[in-house]
């Protein structure tokens, strides 16, 4: 029996899920425009544990969304996950954020044609997104990249391409002329989409080094000016 705690703070949605042998037991999440995940994450973990009717001592491993995504959000999620792993002496599992997001689209849209392509997108800056392309079986078609979206993006693809995630909305106007591009507005990051992937990794014992693991940012963090600075 494996009880896993899943943490996703890669975007403005702070999300925590608990699953037993790959079956979801509880889910706590909230959209937060201010990225105040540090204030909410431990509260969500306590609530999810209580709803699942378990204790922290029952947890077999911690799964964390490793990125890409918000620099601050990823730091909060990974730091919390590592602290729990150290305190409980349990392993750490890292789940690719875009892979989990793609799994969410596969799970909630089984009607998609077998030859369709799925493109999860996370918002970066301006017209840039972090994106990746998968087929409907979860196989990677194009590796992850930081991509600046313009009218020529994806023109080499002829299959139906489905865009989703918090980076997809800002591409709507730019890409709407391409008839093979579609948008799935109901798919966002969530700890529940990590469950199946994390369970597979737990079974295969694909764990991270808790001491040295770092989030996958894809790009270096560039901070803005401090208050009072020009």
Give me the pLDDT at residue 196, please.
Answer: 97
Proportion of the chain above pLDDT 70, given as a percent: 95
Q: What is the pLDDT of residue 220?
A: 62
Boundaries of domain holding 26: 3-97+189-203
> 1-10, 40-49, 215-224: which range is least confident on average?
215-224
Dihedral (CA of 2, 27, 57, 208) sign: positive
Residues 19 and 89 in one domain: yes
Q: Structurally, how many domains does the chain consist of?
A: 2
Q: Is residue 178's pLDDT more than 70? A: yes
Residues 65 and 189: beta-carbon distance below 8 Å: yes
Answer yes or no: do 162 and 136 share one domain.
yes
The residues, any chain, with a CB within 8 Å of residue 27's CB and separated by 6 or more, are: 15, 16, 17, 18, 48, 190, 191, 192
pLDDT > 90 in the chain, percent: 86
Average pLDDT over residues 172-191: 94
Specify whether 171 is located in the same domain as 114.
yes
How much is the average pLDDT of 200-211? 98
Looking up residue 129, the CATH number of its domain turns out to be: 3.30.420
Same domain? 40 vs 142: no
Give per-residue pLDDT as tens, 15-55. Answer: 999 999 999 999 999 987 777 788 899 999 999 999 999 99
C-alpha to C-alpha distance for 46 and 56, rounded to whole angstroms: 9
Tell the residue number behind the tokens 């693991």, with chain if given.
213
The pTM assigned to this predicted structure is 0.92
């Amino acid at each position: 029996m494996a009880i896993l705690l899943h943490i996703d703070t890669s975007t403005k949605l702070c999300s925590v899920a608990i699953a037993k042998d790959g079956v979801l037991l509880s889910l706590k999440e909230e959209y937060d425009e201010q990225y105040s995940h540090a204030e909410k994450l431990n509260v969500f973990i306590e609530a999810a544990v209580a709803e699942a009717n378990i204790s922290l001592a029952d947890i077999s491993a911690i799964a964390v969304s490793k990125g890409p995504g918000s620099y601050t959000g990823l730091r909060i999620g990974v730091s919390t996950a590592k602290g729990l792993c150290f305190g409980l002496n349990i392993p750490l599992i890292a789940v690719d954020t875009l892979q989990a997001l793609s799994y969410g689209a596969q799970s909630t849209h089984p009607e998609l044609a077998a030859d369709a392509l799925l493109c999860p997108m996370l918002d970066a800056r301006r017209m840039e997104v972090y994106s990746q392309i998968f087929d409907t079986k979860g196989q990677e078609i194009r590796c992850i990249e930081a991509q600046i979206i313009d009218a020529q993006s994806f023109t080499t693809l002829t299959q139906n391409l489905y865009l989703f995630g918090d980076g997809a909305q800002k591409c709507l106007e730019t890409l709407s002329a391409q008839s093979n591009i579609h948008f799935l507005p109901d798919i966002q990051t969530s700890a529940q989409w990590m469950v199946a992937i994390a369970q597979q990794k737990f079974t295969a014992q694909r764990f991270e080094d808790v001491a040295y693991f770092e989030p996958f940012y894809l790009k270096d963090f560039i901070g803005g000016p401090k208050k009072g600075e020009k």
